[in-house]
Amino acid sequence: MHRRSSNGFTLGELLVVVAIIGVLVAVSIPIFSGQREKAKIATCAANRRSLLSAVMNERISNEQAEDTVKVSNAAKTLGVTADGYYISGLCPDNGIISVEFYDDGEVMIYCSVHTTDMERFPQSITSTIIAGLDSITRGSTTLRGYLSSKTTNHIDSEAGSNTPGATGSWVDLIKNKMRSEGSPLLYQGWAINYNNHQYSVAVTKDGESSLTSAKNGDYISVVKYVYDDKGNKISSTSGTMKVILEKNTYNRLDITTPGSFKAS
């Protein structure tokens, strides 16, 4: 009677083991990569929070210093150096950290890799509109001329091709300008108003969806910028602004009514 040797594995058994190991590796690599990416995001966020705390401490202890000096001193406490408002070495994905000061005292810390477009571009959308006051035209009329006319003095992002009259056309022109620049700012809600030789621009902080999903009379988070006739920024303030249902068609930011904006 012959007995099968129990001193080793057969070729078939080895192949099964190798196949199982291969499946486990294939499954674990994406999971590991995902966890590593989450760890990088968490690390970057933690470093930005630490930087924000250091900057705020500098604002209290070194109040008279220039903002760039405050950023530089704050960066040093974290073992890195700053170049103006920009800092390298805090993001594990080599993102550039930027610091933005608002006139109402708020400080925002952005990462070029881990901060979403909706979070970091209120200033950029405003700059696009202000820079286009003379370059965005409809026929022989500039955007500046349209806003300063007697017929209207404001434009809001939710008016567009489906809106009767000139306003919708101007919105399309502004958004086309954004598209030509490869801008992601189309996903922000905004409004611009001209009054008393000043341009006020309000931009949603949470994206366009917060505007379109709001109810008539709701207040949503915005950043409000004010520029003079020459395009120089006068102020930038975060807060909330009232939403109005326009002609039972779309929501718009009530940038034209005094008191509709509440600073934080």
Q: Specify the CATH number for the domain of residue 33.
A: 3.30.1300.80
Whether the CB-CB separation of 13 and 57 falls below 8 Å is answered with no
Which stretch of 25-29, 35-39, 152-156, 175-179 has the lowest confidence by average pLDDT? 25-29
How many CB atoms sit inside 10 A of residue 238's CB?
18
**Same structural domain, 46 and 160:** no
**Same structural domain, 131 and 232:** yes
3-state secondary structure the chain: CCCCCCCCCCHHHHHHHHHHHHHHHHHHHHHHHHHHHHHHHHHHHHHHHHHHHHHHHHHHHCCCCCHHHHHHHHHHHCCCCEECCEECCCCCCCCCEEEEECCCCCEEEEECCCCCHHHHCHHHHHHHHHHCCCCCEECCEEHHHHHCCCCCCEEECCCCCCCCCHHHHHHHHHHHHHHHCCCCHHHCCEEEEEECCEEEEEEECCCHHHHHCCCCCCEEEEEEEEEECCCCEEEEEEEEEEEEEECCCEEEECCCCCCCEEEC
Whether the CB-CB separation of 151 and 139 falls below 8 Å is answered with no
**Same structural domain, 109 and 136:** no
Angle at 32 between CA 27 and CA 35, to 5 degrees: 130
Q: What pLDDT, on a 0 to 100 scale, did the predictor assign at position 160?
A: 64
Q: What pLDDT, on a 0 to 100 scale, did the predictor assign at position 242?
A: 96
Q: Locate 108 and state its tokens.
A: 């925002």
Which stretch of 48-57, 76-85, 204-213, 230-239 has the lowest confidence by average pLDDT? 204-213
Mean pLDDT in residue range 72-99:
90
Report if residue 14 sits inside a domain.
Answer: no
**Same structural domain, 43 and 172:** no
**Same structural domain, 105 and 219:** no
Report if residue 4 sits inside a domain.
Answer: no
Pick from 115, 146, 176: which residue ends a domain?
A: 115
Report if residue 7 sits inside a domain.
Answer: no
Report if residue 182 sits inside a domain.
Answer: yes
Rounded to two decimals, the pTM is: 0.57
**Same structural domain, 140 and 212:** yes
**Same structural domain, 109 and 33:** yes
Which stretch of 3-7, 72-76, 83-87 has the lowest confidence by average pLDDT? 3-7
Pick from 115, 141, 175: which residue ends a domain?
A: 115
Tally of structural domains, the chain: 2
Q: Containing domain of residue 91, as a range?
A: 29-115
**Same structural domain, 197 and 211:** yes
**Same structural domain, 84 and 171:** no
Q: pLDDT, tens digit, for every residue of 39-54? A: 888 888 889 889 989 9
Report if residue 51 sits inside a domain.
Answer: yes
**Same structural domain, 102 and 166:** no
pLDDT band, very low/low/confident/very high, at 118 (cuts 50, 70, 90): very low
Report if residue 34 sits inside a domain.
Answer: yes
Percent of the chain with pLDDT over 70: 80
Report if residue 1 sits inside a domain.
Answer: no
pLDDT band, very low/low/confident/very high, at 80 (cuts 50, 70, 90): very high
Report if residue 8 sits inside a domain.
Answer: no
**Same structural domain, 124 and 106:** no
Mean pLDDT in residue range 223-232:
89
**Same structural domain, 44 and 161:** no
Pick from 66, 92, 115: which residue ends a domain?
A: 115
Which stretch of 125-129, 184-188, 217-221, 244-248 has the lowest confidence by average pLDDT? 184-188
